Amino acid sequence: MPGIDDFTRPVEYLSPLDRSLGEIVRSWAEKEVLPYRREYDEDWEEHRLIEPAFDRLMGELGLQRVLFPEEVGGWGLGHSDYLGTGSYRMFEEIARADSAMAVAFGVVFWPLIMICNEPHVNMRLCEEFAPMFIETNKAVFTANAMTEPQGGADIENMDLLGGSTIETCAILEGDEWVINGHKLWPTNSAGVADLFGVVCTTSPGSTDPEEFAFIFVPADTEGVTQGKPYQKAGMAADKNSDIWFENVRVPSWYRACGPGDDFKYFKEIISLGSMGTIAFVSGAMMNIYEILREFCEEKTFRGRPLKENDDVAGVLADFVRDLEVIRVIGYQAARMMDRPDLYGDRWSEEMVAKTRAFKYFAADKAVENVGLVMNLMGAHGSDRVRDVEKHWRDLKIVQLWMGGKQLCQMEVARWFFDCETL
Binding to other proteins by residue 185, rule CB under 8 A?
yes
Tell me the torsion sign for CA atoms 368, 369, 375, 380. Answer: negative
Minimum CB distance to its own copies smaller for 8 or for 252: 8
Task: Give the three-state DSSP class for 200.
Answer: strand
Q: How far is the CB of 305 from its own copies (least distance, A)?
A: 9
Residue 367 binds other proteins, judged by CB under 8 A = yes
| Rg for the chain, CA atoms, rounded | 21
For other proteins, the binding residue among 3, 171, 314, 419 (CB under 8 A) is: 314
Question: Does 104 interact with other proteins (rule: CB under 8 A)?
Answer: no
The answer to whether residue 411 forms part of the interface with other proteins (CB under 8 A) is no
Given its own copies, other proteins, none, residue 8, with its beta carbon under 5 to 8 Å by kind, binds: its own copies
412 binding partner (options its own copies, other proteins, none; Cβ < 5 to 8 Å by kind) = its own copies
Query: Which of its own copies, other proteins, none lies near 293, with the C-beta cut-off 5 to 8 A by kind?
Result: its own copies
**Which is closer to its own copies, CB of 245 or CB of 289?**
289
The candidate with the shortest Cα–Cα distance to 399, out of 351, 370, 346, 360, is 360
Cα–Cα distance for residue pair 196/214, rounded to 1 Å:
10
**Is the Cβ of residue 41 or residue 118 nearer to other proteins in the bound state?**
41
β-strand pairing of 300-301 with 304-305: antiparallel
Q: Check binding of 404 to other proteins (CB under 8 A).
A: yes
Interface ranges with its own copies (CB under 8 A): 1-2, 6, 8, 10-13, 289, 292-293, 296, 304, 307-308, 310, 313-314, 316-318, 320-322, 324-325, 328-329, 332, 335-336, 342-343, 350, 354, 357-358, 360-361, 406, 408-410, 412-422
Half-sphere exposure of 362 (CA within 13 A, CB side): 32
The Cα 385–Cα 417 span in angstroms is 46
Contact indicator for 236, 100 with CB cutoff of 8 Å: yes
Cα separation values, 297 from 181, 307, 312, Å: 55, 6, 11
Phi-psi region of 258 (alpha: psi -120 to 50; beta: other; left: phi over 0): left
Regarding 416 and contact with other proteins (CB under 8 A), the answer is no
User: Does 233 interact with other proteins (rule: CB under 8 A)?
Assistant: yes
183, 399, 411, 415: which one binds other proteins (CB under 8 A): 399
Measuring CA to CA, which residue among 118, 106, 121, 120 is closest to residue 54? 106
Residue among 137, 212, 203 at smallest CA distance from 171: 203
- Can you give the binding site for other proteins, defined by CB under 8 A? 38, 41, 147, 150-154, 157, 160-161, 164-165, 184-185, 230-234, 240, 298-303, 306, 309-315, 367, 371-372, 374-385, 389, 392-393, 396-397, 399-401, 403-406, 409-410
